[in-house]
Amino acid sequence: MAEKANKDAAKEKAAEKQEEVAVAEQKATEETQQPQEELSLKQKDPKKFLEEFNWHNYEEGIDPIDDGKLEEFEKLVAENFVDTLDDEVVEGEVVHITDRDAIIDINAKSEGVISLNEFRYNPDLKEGDKVEVLIDVREDSTGQLILSHRKARTIKAWERVNEAHDEGTIVNGYVKCRTKGGMIVDVFGIEAFLPGSQIDVKPIRDYDAYVGKTMEFKVVKINHEFKNVVVSHKALIEADIEEQKKEIIGQLEKGQVLEGVVKNITSYGVFVDLGGVDGLVHITDLSWSRINHPNEIVDLDQKLNVVILDFDEDKTRIQLGLKQLKPHPWEALGDDLKVGDKVKGKVVVIADYGAFIEVAEGVEGLIHVSEMSWSTHLRSAQDFVNVGDEVEAQILTMDKEDRKMSLGIKQLTPDPWTDITSKYPVGSRHTGIVRNFTNFGVFVELEEGIDGLIYISDLSWTKKIKHPSEFTEIGAELDVVVLELDVEGRKLSLGHKQTEENPWDKYQDEFAVGTKHTAKIDEIVDKGATIEFNDDITAFVPKRHLEKEDGTDLQKGEEAEFQIIEFNKEFKKVVASHMVIHKEEEAKIVKAAAKKQAAQAEESKTTLGDANQKLQELKDKMDGK
């Protein structure tokens, strides 16, 4: 029923409008028509007059009309009628508001109707307000003129957006919500995209803080094909900042102290906004003390005073300092601090060559690794201290001008070499720990600060050792005997094999030259073979001495009897032969045969001599002698 009442009201308004138009038409026709008959017809029924008017005769000039009257007629029509072209936005007046619709007068023959849903953004709409509309339907089935305010707003909005983009003007927008990578902004009723990088000149961490705000923007990009609009708030700020930047840069001087705001924190320093110009405080210029990260000193958005250290010729790179606003800690050191004093500090840095100790804020001393222990065998500083440790040390050297200090830890304990001759006399036996290997020997620690060297030749009486790792390992305990002691040079020569008797003393008799022993061929080498008589004695057999009685050579794993043909205790060298065994038997046989033959020859010689003598005697007898 309400809808019908609305339509009836609209029709009444339309009828009233038509009546007004008819009156206007009547007046116009009365003034423009000259003949009396036509004038009376206009007065009686102007609508019928317009319908029956012979426009053809008028256009052909058959029915002439006074030009002045015609212009007045056209003016009257233009004032009372609107040329309702498609896609043309016109302004109308709200003449009546119902429960669901708004009746709009656009100076047409009838009022138009717009649903109140299109005015939800304007809940305060009232009669007499001016609104922009677009003719959606010229006449519906009931002859009603249908208008659209939403479409009119859209068309006008795009016109305004394009104009703002072309002319570079500033527009107001309402930030509706967050989206991926930025914000959605309502500009003239169009949803535009505001990238996160275009919100402000500084990085934005809380996007939600901008939702619901009305801000100024600049239209930076329009994609007509996809109906996309991109706006920027940063562009407006940059324009203002650029002016401020020029003004600030022109006044920069080295040593000048300025107030700034921490804009960004990185691992290598802090960027400070000086009011349009950014400067960098390097991590080394934040504090006189060592720090691992700038966030130990400053926070984001923190206000602080900084001093200008340097800038390039174009003043585009500005180097700032924070620690320079305080006096150097070395200058605050008291005169009573001197070499030999004991100080306490925290380990801040460890290097291969030592550790840096902070004895006061910004004042560091170096403990070289050689000053961490009385041991002459150098190790890594990490074997003694760790970062963060609180240590006590003694000042060894101090140079306030160069701001350098060397410290020592070992000086706080007695020097173990002071009574070395009484504790470790030559010939004394001790147990030490293997600390390090070299190609020529083993370093053994007898106590903290007392290291000794065992040469590789003093590790074993019998074994041939190519590298100390073949004999022992790091951290193993080893029995030693002090062989030599050099107090001035702080050197200790040790021996391990001397803790046992030399087995070669007894082997000298057991394996004397000419003795025979049975063994297996252990390895075949280029120039012969090796055989092991026991765990200590390994003998070498030259190749020609491998020959057996049948003329072949002994092979690996074959057991045979060998005779020692060389024994050298000093060089631990033993040479054996199998060949001499059977060659010796052969020589004996040859010698016996020769002896027998000689005996036989002698015997034959004696018998022949006797025969000759008897024969001579017979001859002499016969000769009368």
pLDDT per residue as tens digits for the range 192-246: 888 888 888 777 778 888 888 888 888 888 887 777 888 888 887 777 777 777 7
Residues facing residue 491 across a β-bridge: 486
Tell me the per-residue pLDDT of 461-474, one tens digit each, with 9 for 90 and over.
777 888 998 889 99
Are residues 349 and 292 in contact, defined by beta-carbon separation less than 8 angstroms?
Answer: no
Q: How confident is the model at residue 35 (pLDDT cuts 50, 70, 90)?
A: very low
Helix (H, G, I), strand (E, B) or coil at 531: strand
Measured CA to CA, the distance from residue 5 to residue 112 in angstroms comes to 16
- Count of H helices and E strands in the chain? 10, 30
Helix (H, G, I), strand (E, B) or coil at 329: helix
**pLDDT over 90, % of the chain:** 9
Q: Which amino acid appears at position 95 of this protein?
A: V
Helix (H, G, I), strand (E, B) or coil at 496: coil
Are residues 144 and 78 in contact, defined by beta-carbon separation less than 8 angstroms?
Answer: no
Which CATH class for the 168-237 domain?
A: mainly beta
- State the pLDDT at residue 134: 74
Inform me whether the pLDDT recorded for 583 exceeds 60.
yes
DSSP conformational letter for 13: H
Q: How far is CA 608 from CA 180, 595, 598, 612, in A?
A: 139, 20, 15, 6
Tell me the per-residue pLDDT of 591-625, one tens digit each, with 9 for 90 and over.
655 666 666 666 655 565 666 676 777 777 666 65
- State the pLDDT at residue 36: 43
Tokens coding 246: 């020029």
Measured CA to CA, the distance from residue 595 to residue 590 in angstroms comes to 9
Measured CA to CA, the distance from residue 313 to residue 318 in angstroms comes to 10
- State the pLDDT at residue 99: 84
Rounded average pLDDT over 520-548: 87
Q: Of the spans 45-54, 110-119, 494-503, which averages the highest pLDDT?
A: 494-503
What is the secondary structure of 51-118 as a DSSP string?
A: HH--HHHHHHTSS---HHHHHHHHHHHHHH-----TT-EEEEEEEEE-SSEEEEE-SSSS-EEEEGGG
Q: How confident is the model at residue 590 (pLDDT cuts 50, 70, 90)?
A: low
Rounded average pLDDT over 517-545: 87
Neighbour-count burial for 280-302, b at 16+ CB within 10 Å, e otherwise: bbebebbbbbeeeebeebbeeee
DSSP conformational letter for 467: S
- State the pLDDT at residue 271: 92
Inform me whether the pLDDT recorded for 179 exceeds 50.
yes
Residue 521 or residue 77, greater confidence:
521
Rounded average pLDDT over 38-66: 53
For the beta carbon of residue 516, count every other beta carbon within 10 angstroms: 12
- State the pLDDT at residue 161: 82
Q: How confident is the model at residue 44 (pLDDT cuts 50, 70, 90)?
A: very low
Are residues 413 and 374 in contact, defined by beta-carbon separation less than 8 angstroms?
Answer: yes
C-alpha closest to that of 388 among 342, 343, 351, 356: 356
- State the pLDDT at residue 455: 92
Measured CA to CA, the distance from residue 165 to residue 159 in angstroms comes to 10
Residue 166 or residue 75, greater confidence:
166
E runs forming strands in 316-413: 318-321, 342-351, 354-360, 363-368, 390-399, 404-408
- Domains 250-325 and 329-412 equal at CATH topology level: yes
Q: How confident is the model at residue 288 (pLDDT cuts 50, 70, 90)?
A: confident
Task: Report the relative pairing of strands 450-455 and 429-438 from DSSP bridges.
Answer: unpaired
C-alpha closest to that of 104 among 120, 76, 82, 75: 82
Rounded average pLDDT over 5-25: 52
Inform me whether the pLDDT recorded for 447 exceeds 60.
yes
Q: Burial-class residue 111 by CB neighbours within 10 Å (0-12, 13-18, 19+).
A: buried
The domains of the chain are located at 2-118+139-145, 168-237, 250-325, 329-412, 420-499, 503-625
Inform me whether the pLDDT recorded for 64 exceeds 70.
no
- State the pLDDT at residue 119: 79
**pLDDT over 70, % of the chain:** 76
Tell me the per-residue pLDDT of 248-279, one tens digit each, with 9 for 90 and over.
777 778 888 888 899 899 999 999 988 777 88
DSSP conformational letter for 226: T
- What stretches of 542-578 show up as alpha helix (H) in DSSP? none
Of 165-179, 307-321, 509-523, minimum mean pLDDT range = 307-321
Inform me whether the pLDDT recorded for 83 exceeds 60.
no
- State the pLDDT at residue 621: 67
Q: Of the spans 83-92, 143-152, 418-427, which averages the highest pLDDT?
A: 418-427
Q: How confident is the model at residue 38 (pLDDT cuts 50, 70, 90)?
A: very low
The residue count for the chain = 625
Q: Which fold does the domain 329-412 belong to in CATH?
A: OB fold (Dihydrolipoamide Acetyltransferase, E2P) (2.40.50)
C-alpha closest to that of 169 among 240, 246, 231, 242: 231
Measured CA to CA, the distance from residue 237 to residue 541 in angstroms comes to 97
The three-point CA angle 313-318-319 to 5° equals 120
Which CATH class for the 503-625 domain?
A: mainly beta
Tell me the per-residue pLDDT of 364-406, one tens digit each, with 9 for 90 and over.
889 998 888 877 666 788 888 888 889 999 989 988 878 889 9
Answer CATH for 250-325 from 3.40.50.300, 2.40.50.140, 3.90.550.10, 3.40.50.720: 2.40.50.140
Inform me whether the pLDDT recorded for 494 exceeds 90.
yes
For the beta carbon of residue 114, count every other beta carbon within 10 angstroms: 23
Helix (H, G, I), strand (E, B) or coil at 482: strand
What is the secondary structure of 143-167 as a DSSP string?
A: SPEEEEHHHHHHHHHHHHHHHHHHH
C-alpha closest to that of 538 among 522, 551, 552, 554: 522
Look over the chain and give the mean of its residue pLDDT values, rounded to a whole number: 78
- State the pLDDT at residue 586: 62
Tell me the per-residue pLDDT of 476-489, one tens digit each, with 9 for 90 and over.
999 999 999 888 88
Answer CATH for 420-499 from 3.40.630.30, 2.40.50.140, 1.10.645.10, 2.50.20.10: 2.40.50.140
- State the pLDDT at residue 3: 47
Inform me whether the pLDDT recorded for 79 exceeds 50.
yes
pTM attached to this predicted model: 0.41
Inform me whether the pLDDT recorded for 33 exceeds 50.
no
